[in-house]
């Protein structure tokens, strides 16, 4: 039947998701248009298409056992020199993300896999671009802040065109029903650059 590439993440709500995606594009990250702004729970993972129902059942069970939690983003960080990435830091909710990603990758589940690097929740704002553009991203979004309540997570599939598309949302609590849009309760957008 073939394979698909899946990812699981927490979406950054509007208007902040679009704002960060536009900024990422503005820094010259050409992949930004195809990557919704998010905190990764499962990085890109190739799976057999036939396992999709089992995977969705597993994710629904993880969500059903989960609880909402506060998420707050503040300031920037980088993985340089190890990796050419600048990100917005997760300063509240990181431990909840860590527990959640462990349950998603549970050794007895269909998404078991090793990670290339230790798990570090973040929101990528620049990846694989020129050093000066990475520096700009780090500086220009240093004052960015946003906060909201995370009520679940979502499954995405990467198309042949490289674009990640939403497949299904999983709400925390029994039933793992589709998620309503969660309003952000705090954000201080960065000052415009000249």
Report, as an integer, the average pLDDT of 45-73.
96
Whether residue 33 has pLDDT greater than 70: yes
pLDDT of 117 reads 87
Report, as an integer, the average pLDDT of 21-43.
95
Which of 4, 10, 5, 3 has the alpha carbon at shortest distance from 169? Answer: 10
pLDDT of 133 reads 96
CB 12 within 8 A of CB 20: yes
Distance CA 29, CA 10 (A): 21
Alpha carbon distances (Å) from 57 to 103, 109, 173: 13, 10, 14
Distance CA 143, CA 158 (A): 31
pLDDT of 175 reads 58
Architecture per CATH, domain 3-169, reads as Alpha-Beta Complex (3.90)
Report, as an integer, the average pLDDT of 19-44.
95
Contacts of 38 (CB under 8 A, 6+ apart): 9, 10, 11, 12, 17, 123
pLDDT of 184 reads 40
Distance CA 95, CA 92 (A): 8
Whether residue 177 has pLDDT greater than 50: no
* Domain segments of the chain as ranges: 3-169
Whether residue 181 has pLDDT greater than 80: no
Average pLDDT, the chain: 90
User: Residue 190 — pLDDT band, cuts 50, 70, 90?
Assistant: very low
CB neighbours of residue 176 within 10 Å: 23
pLDDT of 174 reads 76
- Find the helix or strand (DSSP H, E) in which 73 lies: strand 69-78
DSSP letter assigned to residue 157: E
């Amino acid at each position: 039947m073939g394979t698909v590439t899946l990812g699981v993440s927490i979406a950054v709500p509007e208007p902040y998701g679009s704002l960060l995606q536009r900024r990422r594009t503005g820094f010259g990250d050409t992949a930004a248009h195809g990557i919704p702004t998010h905190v990764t729970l499962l990085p890109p993972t190739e799976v057999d298409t036939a396992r999709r129902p089992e995977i969705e059942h597993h994710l629904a069970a993880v969500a059903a056992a989960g609880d909402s939690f506060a998420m707050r983003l503040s300031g920037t960080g980088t993985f340089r020199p190890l990796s050419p990435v600048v990100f917005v830091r997760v300063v509240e909710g990181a431990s909840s993300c860590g527990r959640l990603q462990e349950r998603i990758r549970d050794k007895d589940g269909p998404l078991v896999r090793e990670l290339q690097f230790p798990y570090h929740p973040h929101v990528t704002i620049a990846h694989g671009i020129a050093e000066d553009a990475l520096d700009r991203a780090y500086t220009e979004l240093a004052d960015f802040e946003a906060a909201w309540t995370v009520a679940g997570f979502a499954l995405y599939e990467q198309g042949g065109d490289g674009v990640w598309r939403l497949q299904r949302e999983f709400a925390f609590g029994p039933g793992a029903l589709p998620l309503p849009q969660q309003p952000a309760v705090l954000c201080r957008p960065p000052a415009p650059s000249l």
